[in-house]
Amino acid sequence: MGFSEMMHAFIAAKYYVYLKENYGEKGETAFLHATRHYAEQRGRRMAQRAIRDGKPLTYDTYCRYSEWVNTEEAKACGAANSSVMQSVAPDCEMHVFVCPWHWQFKKMGLPEAGLLYCRDLDASICRGFNPELSYTTVQTLHDHDHCVQIVKNSGLDPKNMPKKEERNLKSFEYHCAHSYWSYADTVRAIFGSEGDAIASKVLADLAAEFGRGYADIILGYSDTDFTHI
């Protein structure tokens, strides 16, 4: 087994559990704040690559500069993304019927964590990429039979739909490390040593669930600057 979307979701879910357990509603607010912080960093990396390449910060470019594709692990357990494009222009509307993040949150019995995470994640990535774009998640798989995501005035060309470019992709080892450390930095900033303790618990849970080796690899990213390409 390798790093995957499910491990990525596991990290976020565990931060939710401990933040909620320790701080109640304030913990949920901290979790959402950390999720937005993490996601906006991803979006800014995408924008940096696009600007470097002389590309406009449009939704078409956003799609091409996405940093991930489904892993073999997600495909093997039947959790790889399955979606339908309901419309392209003027608004892009996507319906998602299978998602590995939903799969993992459901497996852990944490639909409330999934709701909080998924309602803002993609919108925050897009906001980090270009805050002038309008991306909303209208409903999620956590409380409906499919997720609905809408990009207003997408500007997509139905005859030349964007595809993710391999050169822009990052491994899920990188994504899991980014998620872990972004949440860790945020909870530490808010709660000090108590935030440090939460981050340590999340890493211990990751080691118990997936193996010590994965936790050690994530520890190796402690000095990585995830804000820049």
Concatenating the DSSP letter of every residue in 49-70 gives: HHHHTT---SHHHHHHT-----
The token duo for 82 is 């399955």
Residues in the chain: 229
Edge-to-edge strand ranges of the sheet holding 147-151: 82-87, 92-98, 147-151, 135-139
* Rounded CA separation 157/174 (Å): 32
Give residue 14's pLDDT.
Answer: 98
Q: What is the pTM of this model?
A: 0.97
Give residue 94's pLDDT.
Answer: 98
Q: Give the confidence band of 1 by pLDDT, cuts at 50, 70, 90.
A: confident
- The percentage of the chain sitting over the pLDDT mark of 90, rounded to a whole number, equals 100
> Which residue type, as a one-letter code, is found at position 110?
L
Give the DSSP H or E segment for 150: strand 147-151
* Rounded CA separation 107/105 (Å): 5
Q: Give the confidence band of 11 by pLDDT, cuts at 50, 70, 90.
A: very high
